[in-house]
A and B are shown apart, each in its own frame.
Chain A
Amino acid sequence: MTNIICIICPKGCNLIVSENGGTIGHSCARGEIYGREERINPVRIVTSTVKISGAVHSRIPVKTKTHIPKHLISDAMRLLDDVELTAPVDEGFTVIADICGTGIPWVTTRGM
Chain B
Amino acid sequence: MHELIVIGGGPAGLAAAYGAWRDGLRKILIIERDKELGGILNQCIHTGFGLEYFKEELTGPEYAGRFIKLLQTTQIETALDTMALKITRSREVHASGKQFGYAVLPAKSVILAMGCRERALGSLGIPGTRPAGIFTAGTAQRYINIEGFMPGKRVVILGSGDVGLIMARRMTLEGAEVLACVEIMPKPGGLLRNVVQCLHDFNIPLYLSHTITEIRGSKRVEQAVVSKVDEKRQAVKGTGFAVDCDTILLSAGLIPEIELPTAAGIKIDPKNIETSAPGVFICGNALRVHDIVDNVTTEALRAGSAAAAFVLSEKIHD
Contact = CB atoms under 8 A, between A and B. Distances in A.
Given A70-B201, A77-B173, A49 B45 contact: yes
A49 B148 CA distance: 8
Interface stretch (B129-137, B192-200, B262-270, B302-310): B192-200
B292 interface: yes
Contacts of B146: 57-59
B276 interface: no
B59 A47 contact: yes
B148 A9 contact: no
A3 B97 CA distance: 54
A51 interface: yes
Interface string A36-51: 0000000011111101
A56 interface: yes
Majority-rule SS of B interface residues: helix
Given A5-B192, A10-B193, A58-B147, A44 B201 contact: yes
B253 interface: no
A12 interface: yes
Interface residues of B, number: 31
Nearest to B291: A10
A61 B193 contact: no
Given A47-B46, A91-B65, A59 B173 contact: no
Contacts of A70: 201
A45 B47 CA distance: 8
A73 B173 contact: yes
B315 interface: no
A110 B57 CA distance: 15
A46 B292 contact: no
B61 interface: yes
A6 B35 CA distance: 37
Contacts of A9: 51, 193
B144 A49 contact: yes
Contacts of A7: 193, 196-197
Contacts of A58: 146-148
Nearest to A76: B173
Contacts of A63: 45, 47, 59
Interface string B12-45: 0000000000000000000000011000001001
B299 interface: no
Interface string A1-22: 0000111111010000000000
B88 interface: no
B193 A59 contact: no
Interface in A68-104: 70, 73-74, 77, 91
A110 B147 contact: no
Contacts of B65: 91, 110-111
Interface in B77-133: none
Contact of A56 (B36, B47, B57): B36
A64 to B, nearest CB: 10
A11 to B, nearest CB: 8
Given A61-B59, A63-B59, A109 B192 contact: no
Contacts of A73: 173
Contacts of B147: 57-59
Q: What 9 A-B pairs come out closest when comparing CB atoms?
A: A12-B192, A110-B61, A61-B45, A7-B193, A59-B148, A58-B148, A109-B59, A5-B196, A109-B61
9 contacts: A5-B195, A44-B201, A47-B46, A56-B35, A57-B146, A57-B147, A57-B148, A91-B61, A109-B59
Interface of A: 5-10, 12, 44-49, 51, 56-59, 61, 63, 70, 73-74, 77, 91, 109-111
